[in-house]
């Protein structure tokens, strides 16, 4: 095994892979080298039930032969074997149908954001002792059980982190590398509620330890999600305002991202196709994709093709301004890459709904009668038509207060109606994933229960 560890080694190896592909007959080539040092531990009650530590090294190569593309993914870094694999990929490309859109990105004059300026790497994560992480997982377990005597079990309390090195080189003259970290804590209590078993989960993730929600807050929110649904009942069928708690709101935004994804637009699998410039959402709907935000999990100096990341306003006060592109679909649709290439597809950077100024409790207090959704079940989204339907759990709101927990109901509508109906957005946005959202309220939706 060839030792490839730091950014310098990764860049050198990526340069070698590109030159190897060109010597084998490729007209263009790109190589990405990824090194990931991972640690993960799980605790249940007073015992550590899982402990994993690994280092993974992967190389992804794209080769082009006059518009014909082939790809290679390998964990084999021994140069003789890698050379043979790259040559085989070049040979395979010659047998693929030519595609006029298949090629490397054009040379850019823009400045690639500096990885250090973006604060993607944190030394406190990289140097943290394993025992401290194990103790934290055990502490999470202890806390959820101490907070409420009804908590009798758990699906585990987890602490994990990853230290990554990414290097990308292509034959068009791009070469870049950066280091990054990611750390997470998560717990999932379980409690019996008569014949039912209540399970809740809450977690936090960030680039730096200091940006994680405190252990005590994670435990408290997880327990609240678990025991808060004790005695839940089925609500009546009604048309009422629906409040989406921020984690559920983020799932809605994931569906909006899918519709704004140029890969889906290009094949007609998007309800947003042909609607750029149209008003779709309310004036509260400003949705941004931004890969340049310092310290955020979705940030990076360049995307999966070496295109500099950027800030892209997708919806501006309800008006659809653009789709999100990688190089291939930008060419196909006559546009320009927005720096959203990811693993051979179009992916989010930091994709989020711009927050408001009120808290979620203030939104609840301003709701005379409605439903707060804290969890959704199942999958019933039709991206071409924009139809939305989910099973849900949450709370019935009456006179500005949570009246009682509810379950076994469905919320339904269309994404266009939902975005147009957003009449309040909370301030509780946290960047703990690539797609995030504050809580928000839709003025009226169908809630199907009894």
- Residue pLDDT, tens place only, 225-265: 999 999 999 999 999 999 999 999 999 999 999 999 999 99
Q: What is the pLDDT of residue 450?
A: 80
CB 341 within 8 A of CB 291: no
Tokens of 350: 């930091």
Nearest residue to 271 via CA among 356, 348, 386, 365: 386
State mean pLDDT over 375-388.
84
Task: Inform me whether the pLDDT recorded for 5 exceeds 80.
Answer: no
Q: What is the pLDDT of residue 110?
A: 47
Task: Inform me whether the pLDDT recorded for 275 exceeds 60.
Answer: yes
The lowest-confidence range among 12-26, 159-173, 378-392 is 378-392
CB 20 within 8 A of CB 83: yes
Task: Inform me whether the pLDDT recorded for 6 exceeds 90.
Answer: no
State mean pLDDT over 82-103.
95
49 falls in which pLDDT band (50, 70, 90)? very high
Task: Inform me whether the pLDDT recorded for 95 exceeds 60.
Answer: yes
Q: Which residues contact 41 (CB under 8 A, 6 or more apart)?
A: 48, 50, 51, 52, 130, 133, 134, 137, 158, 159, 160
CA separation for the pair 327, 305 (Å, rounded): 8
Q: What is the pLDDT of residue 378?
A: 77
Task: Inform me whether the pLDDT recorded for 306 exceeds 80.
Answer: yes
Note the helical H segments in 299-343: 327-332
pTM of the model: 0.95
State mean pLDDT over 80-103.
95
DSSP summary character for residue 324: B
Greatest Cα pair distance, the chain, in angstroms, is: 73
Q: What is the pLDDT of residue 339?
A: 97
Q: Which CATH number fits domain 123-166+175-224: 3.30.2290.10, 3.20.20.80, 3.40.50.1580, 3.40.1370.10?
A: 3.30.2290.10
Q: What is the pLDDT of residue 380?
A: 66
Q: What is the pLDDT of residue 449?
A: 87
Q: What is the pLDDT of residue 22?
A: 98
Grouping H, G, I as helix, E, B as strand and the rest as coil, residue 225 is: helix
Task: Inform me whether the pLDDT recorded for 133 exceeds 90.
Answer: yes
Task: Inform me whether the pLDDT recorded for 278 exceeds 80.
Answer: yes
Where are the CATH 3.30.2290.10 domain residues in the chain?
123-166+175-224
Other Cβ atoms less than 10 A from the Cβ of 391: the count is 16
Q: What is the pLDDT of residue 108?
A: 58
Query: From edge to edge, which strands make up the β-sheet containing 311-316?
Result: 319-320, 311-316, 287-290, 351-353, 435-436
Q: Which residues contact 7 (CB under 8 A, 6 or more apart)?
A: 165, 167, 177, 178, 179
Task: Inform me whether the pLDDT recorded for 379 exceeds 90.
Answer: no
Tokens of 51: 């402990």
97 falls in which pLDDT band (50, 70, 90)? very high
């Amino acid at each position: 095994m060839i030792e490839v560890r730091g950014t310098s080694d990764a860049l050198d190896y990526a340069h070698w892979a590109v030159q190897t592909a060109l010597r084998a007959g490729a007209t263009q080539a790109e190589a990405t080298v990824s090194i990931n040092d991972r640690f993960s531990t799980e605790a249940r009650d007073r015992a550590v039930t899982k402990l994993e530590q690994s280092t993974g090294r992967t190389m992804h190569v794209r080769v082009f032969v006059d518009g014909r593309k082939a790809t290679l993914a390998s964990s084999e870094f021994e140069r003789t074997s890698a050379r043979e694999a790259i040559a085989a990929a070049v040979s395979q490309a010659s047998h693929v149908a030519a595609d006029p859109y298949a090629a490397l990105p054009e040379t850019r004059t823009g400045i690639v954001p500096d990885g250090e300026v973006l604060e993607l790497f944190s030394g406190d994560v990289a140097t943290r002792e394993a025992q401290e992480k194990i103790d934290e997982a055990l502490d999470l377990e202890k806390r959820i059980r101490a907070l409420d005597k009804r908590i009798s079990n758990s699906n585990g309390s987890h602490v994990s982190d990853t230290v990554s090195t990414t290097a990308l080189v292509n034959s068009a003259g791009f070469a870049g590398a950066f280091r990054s970290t990611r750390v997470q804590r998560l717990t999932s209590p379980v409690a019996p509620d008569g014949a039912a078993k209540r399970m809740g989960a809450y977690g936090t993730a960030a680039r730096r330890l200091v940006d994680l929600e405190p252990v005590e807050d994670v435990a408290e929110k997880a327990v609240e999600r678990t025991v808060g649904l004790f005695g839940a009942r089925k609500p009546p069928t009604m048309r009422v305002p629906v409040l989406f708690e921020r984690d559920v709101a983020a799932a809605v935004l994931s569906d909006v991202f899918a519709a704004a994804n140029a890969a889906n637009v290009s094949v007609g699998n998007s309800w947003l196709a042909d609607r750029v410039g149209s008003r779709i959402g309310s004036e509260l709907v400003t949705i941004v994709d931004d890969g340049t935000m310092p310290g955020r999990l979705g940030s990076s100096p360049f995307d999966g093709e070496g295109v500099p990341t950027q800030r892209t306003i997708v919806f501006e006060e309800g008006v659809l301004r653009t789709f999100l592109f990688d190089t291939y679909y930008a060419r196909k649709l006559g546009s320009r890459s927005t720096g959203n290439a990811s693993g051979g597809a179009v992916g989010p950077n930091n994709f989020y709904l711009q927050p408001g100024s009120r808290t979620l409790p203030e939104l609840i207090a301003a709701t005379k009668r409605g439903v707060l959704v804290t969890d959704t079940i199942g999958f019933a989204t039709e991206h071409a038509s924009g139809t939305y339907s989910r099973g849900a759990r949450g709370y019935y709101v009456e006179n500005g207060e949570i009246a009682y927990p509810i379950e076994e109901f469905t919320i339904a509508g269309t994404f266009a109606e939902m975005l147009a109906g957003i009449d309040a957005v909370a301030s509780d946005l946290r960047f703990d994933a690539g797609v995030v959202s504050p809580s928000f309220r839709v003025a009226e939706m169908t809630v199907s229960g009894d």
